[in-house]
Amino acid sequence: MSKTAHTIPRIAITPGEPAGIGPDLLVRFAQGASQAQLVAIADPDLLAARARLLGLDLRLETCDPERPPTLSPPGHLSVLPVTLRQPAEPGRLDPANAAYVLETLTAACDGCLNGAFDALATGPVHKGVINEAGVHFTGHTEFLARRCNAQPVMMLATPGLRVALVTTHLPLMQVSAAITREHLTRVIEILHRDLSQRFGIDQPRILVCGLNPHAGEGGHLGREEVEVIEPVLSALRARGWNLVGPLPADTAFVPERIASADAFLTMFHDQGLPVLKHLGFGRAVNVTLGLPIIRTSVDHGTALDLAGTDRADPGSLTAAVKLAIDLAHLSD
């Protein structure tokens, strides 16, 4: 895990899809005080135009990574400029700007890898328009994993609940085949390590959901628990790890279990995330574990219908940046 190079963290922020609410959220968020230097990896003209549209004062300054970071005052943003391919209109997607979105992510990721930035917080991207531009793109997590040559684990967190995923953006018909002993072992190892090292949790208690209804009913409703999940958990418990499960997913998230867990591990995207988003939508943060960099993200999409209206809630971006700052400090 990389160490924070700066006393004041320098946090890279990518606003994501330029036609969506990402730029709105960033210029709104920048109106408040921050405990870090905030660096937007974006087109400064886009940010200035969105600030004017929202009636917000915004001062933009070009970031110099060679200089020590300073706290971003309210109404100020540092910028590492990346130029839009076409002017962005709120609410109107343009595949021509897909390359711009990927360029911002590349610059931000590489800046974290080379120590220019201490962490990355990402705004929402639109997967569909990137694919329409001819680029196969399944999400931030997979893109950053390839860029970092790492094997990631997606975890979402909201106050009182953390949920990690064994599989991420897969069709349901492919999930079972993807849950092998080797893959599940690797995911749990990454989750356990990062809860301990990045979040400072000694001996994390992880509750693991089964894949099938009723966790397979002893093999009568599916064999994945018997043949894959239980053997992996048994082997890792032999290391002294506190792993509970496999649990039936429909009763895993009762209050007493949530209160006792440092994290839940679910087998697929829509098994645990509906519970987390019901509990904390607008305050939840997506954290990519298993990377050599710190990366957090909002828990929502581009909300094209809200772009440019000043009706988008910056709560999730605020939480994502705050967690990025906290994790940067913990990595010292």
Which residues carry a binding-site annotation for a divalent metal cation? 169, 214, 269
- The rounded distance, in Å, linking the Cα atoms of 43 and 83 is 5
Let me know how long the chain is. 332
- The rounded distance, in Å, linking the Cα atoms of 216 and 223 is 7
Rg of the chain (C-alpha set): 20
The binding site for substrate consists of 140-141, 277, 286, 295
Q: Which residue do the tokens 């106050």 mark?
A: 159
- The torsion angle over the Cα atoms of residues 57, 62, 67 and 68, rounded to 10 degrees, is 30
The binding site consists of 140-141, 169, 214, 269, 277, 286, 295
- The rounded distance, in Å, linking the Cα atoms of 71 and 41 is 17
Assigned token pair, 152: 């990631």
Assigned token pair, 119: 């962490």
Q: Are 98 and 135 in contact (CB under 8 A)?
A: yes
How many Cβ atoms sit within 10 Å of the Cβ of residue 114? Answer: 11
Parallel, antiparallel, or unpaired: how do β-strands 76-81 and 59-62 relate?
parallel
